[in-house]
Amino acid sequence: MGRGGRAGAPARTGGPFARIPIGPGRSVRLWQEDALASLPRRVRRPAVVVTSPPYNRRVRYASYADARPREEYLAWIRRLGEVVAGTLAPDGSFFLNVGGSPSDPWMPWDVAREIGRALVLQNVLHWVKSIAIDRGGGSGPSEAFGHYKPLGSARYVHGAHEYVFHFTHRGDVPIDRLAIGVPYRDRSNVGRWRRPPSELRCRGNTWFLPYATIRDRARDRPHPATFPVELPEWCVRLHGVGRARQVVDPFVGIGASAVAAARLGVDFVGFDLDAGYLAEAARRVRAELDGRPRASGTSPTPGRPEARRRRRPSRGGSTPSSASGGPRRPSRGRSGSPAWPSCPP
């Protein structure tokens, strides 16, 4: 899942840019087309739409000018909501990731209101990228986990989270809360509540999904606005993998949502206008299916073997931290930008 372009190089005509089989009757299909024009004729009643559109924050995409007048941008977002509402299955879910900026904190909610003209907001989720935990109730040592983009400001704090808005047609779609559940810390709570006992409880609406450490932005994450594969994966799991007949991402970018669908064995359709992004998305999907070592730009999924290894936390929280747990200055990739993962500027 990525924030792909809407205008730029001519779209590919004919068949899909890439078609990658993932199982009987299922494949990952990537189209080099404008999703708002093509989605109604390329998909039929998808169960899940999960995406992150451009944020209109002057991000340097390869094939999209991310700087429109505010009203024009919000009108385009409104059209996105109408198109998704017209294609989404009656019991489908639309997960929309949007981040704000310190100087414009209302933008994510303005976007949500525009989508809300066509759909009902059922859940508000918070994707937490970095967090500092005080072990002594505010007086003890702090431990910092995850990565953030430093912000030099006398007025604002670092941005360490983004929203994931969950829309449905009527606000009444059942979800599989325990598909991304967490074990009870106190096992005496198992069976205490008036529901069938389970080893897991609902994770809630805060999802801590840090970026994995990368060393070369241009090589490891060649897109200016991405997020971990686990974000769309958890969205599909929350909706219910068994009911996810087809997953769609209108702004697939370099393919985090496509990789998530391949990992889950779910039929997938993605759109982007940039051929370079689509080529990288196809490469990542094939790597996932081939079982090759995961690219350094993705983080492990809870429940998978690599996620159960205990990580050494970073200390302090005042500087970006490396995988080894200590603060470090960022290395510079070929693009000249800091090589640590970051949210959009």
For 253-285, the pLDDT digits (tens) are 999 999 999 999 999 999 999 999 999 999 999
Mean pLDDT, residues 11-36 taken together: 90
Buried b (16+ CB within 10 A) or exposed e, 124-152: ebebbbbbbeeeeeeeeeebbbbbbbeee
Reading across the β-sheet that carries 142-146, which strands appear in turn? 130-134, 142-146, 314-315
pLDDT tens figures, 93-143: 999 999 888 888 999 999 999 999 999 999 999 999 888 888 766 666 788
pLDDT of residue 319: 36
Please give the residue that has the higher pLDDT: either 222 or 268.
268
pLDDT at 196 over 70: no
Mean pLDDT, residues 31-42 taken together: 95
pLDDT of residue 258: 97
- Alpha helices by DSSP H, listed for the chain, are 35-42, 70-87, 107-115, 217-220, 230-239, 256-264, 275-290
Give percent of the chain above pLDDT 70. Answer: 68
pLDDT at 288 over 80: yes
- 39 touches 82 (CB < 8 A): no
pLDDT of residue 125: 98
Q: Which residue has the tokens 């989508």?
A: 115
- Return the structure tokens found at 302: 């809870």
Give the Cα separation of 184 and 205 in Å (integer).
16
Please give the residue that has the higher pLDDT: either 308 or 91.
91
Give the Cα separation of 205 and 198 in Å (integer).
19
Mean pLDDT, residues 71-85 taken together: 96
Which of 73, 70, 72, 36 lies closest to 51 in space, CA to CA? Answer: 36
Mean pLDDT, residues 313-320 taken together: 37
- Return the structure tokens found at 307: 């996620």
pLDDT of residue 90: 98
Q: Report which DSSP code applies to 323.
A: T
* Among the ranges given (84-88, 143-147, 321-325), the one the predictor scored with the smallest mean pLDDT: 321-325
pLDDT tens figures, 197-209: 678 889 999 999 9
- Return the structure tokens found at 270: 């993605």
Please give the residue that has the higher pLDDT: either 256 or 291.
256
pLDDT of residue 246: 97
Give percent of the chain above pLDDT 90. Answer: 52
What's the pTM value of the predicted model, to 2 decimals?
0.77
pLDDT of residue 290: 93
- Per the CATH hierarchy, to which homologous superfamily does domain 18-315 belong? Vaccinia Virus protein VP39 (3.40.50.150)
